[in-house]
Amino acid sequence: MGEVLTYKASFGGIPAGSARMEVAGIDTVRGRAAYHLVFAIDGGIPFFRVHDRYESWIDVVTLASLRHVQQISEGRYKRHTVYEIFPERAQYQRNDDAPAPSVSRPLDDASFIYAVRAEALRPGETKRDDRYFRPDRNPVVLTGLRFDTIKVDAGTFPTVVVRPTIRAKGLFSEGGEAQVWFSDDAARIPVQVRTKFAKFRLTLSLKSVDYGNEAR
C-alpha cells in the first residue's frame, strides 16, 4: 500500500518527460473494497505531446479488475474511456455500450504489470494466460529473456528481463516488442521499460521508489 514508482521518460532517445506507477489507496467499487492503481505518462517532444493516464480498481481479495479508466492524449488524438468490469458474471461494459463477454478473473492494462510482478518468471520460461478482460485480445504471453544488471537514477539493480505481450494497443502490444527489467528480488520492481509507444521508442527508467514511509 502506498507504493509510488517514478520514472524518467525518453522518446526516441531524447529525455522528455516522466511517468508514475502508484498504488493510490483503497476505494469502494459497487460495494467491494478495491486497490486503486494509477499509471501515468507525461512528456513528449515539441510537436508530439503525450499525457496518458490509466487507472484500475482491483478487488483486494481476488485481485480481479473491477473498473478501468483510460484518459489518452497523444498528439491530436484524444480519448476518455471507462470500462466497468464484472468478474462475477464474466462481462464488461465500455462507456454506455451494451455489456460484452469477459473472463472470470480479469486483468486490464494498468493492473497487468502488477500481475506480472507476481510471476517471478526466469529466463527461458514462457507463460500464457487468458486473463485480459477483453477475450478477443487473449492470450497474454510472458517470456523470460535474460538476466541483466542495470544502473538507473534509483540505483544499480540485478534484474530479470521479461517480454510481456497483449493483443491490444498500448505499452505491451504485440508490435511494440516491449521489454521490462524487473528487480531480481522479492519486490520485483519494474526498473526499466522499453517499448514502441505511439510513434516513438519509449524508455522508462526508474528514478525513485517511495513506500509511503521511506524513499529509495
pLDDT digits (tens, 9 = 90+) for 128-176: 989 999 999 898 889 999 999 999 999 999 999 999 887 766 666 555 5
The alpha carbon dihedral of 35, 93, 115, 77 has a sign of: negative
Q: Residue 1 has what pLDDT?
A: 60
Q: Residue 125 has what pLDDT?
A: 95
Q: How far apart are CA 131 and CA 107, in angstroms?
A: 6
Q: Residue 2 has what pLDDT?
A: 81
Dig out the grid coordinates for 41 from the structure: 505518462
**Non-local CB neighbours of 145 within 8 Å, separated by 6+ positions:** 123, 161, 162, 163, 179
- The H-assigned helical ranges of the chain are 111-117
Dig out the grid coordinates for 190 from the structure: 519494474
Q: What share of the chain is helix, strand, coil (3-state, %, to 5)?
A: 5, 60, 30
Q: How far apart are CA 120 and CA 185, in angstroms?
A: 9
114 — phi, psi (to 5°)? -70, -35
Q: Residue 127 has what pLDDT?
A: 92
213 — phi, psi (to 5°)? -100, -20
Using an 8 Å Cβ cutoff, are 137 and 164 in contact? no
Q: How far apart are CA 84 and CA 123, in angstroms?
A: 35
**Residue-level pLDDT, tens digit, the chain, 216 residues:** 689 999 999 987 888 899 999 999 999 999 999 999 999 999 887 788 889 999 999 999 999 999 999 999 988 999 999 999 999 999 999 999 999 999 989 999 888 888 888 888 899 999 998 999 999 989 888 999 999 999 999 999 999 999 988 776 666 655 557 899 999 999 999 999 998 866 678 899 999 999 875 445
Q: Residue 201 has what pLDDT?
A: 84
The HSE-up count of residue 156 (CA atoms within 13 Å, CB side) is 1
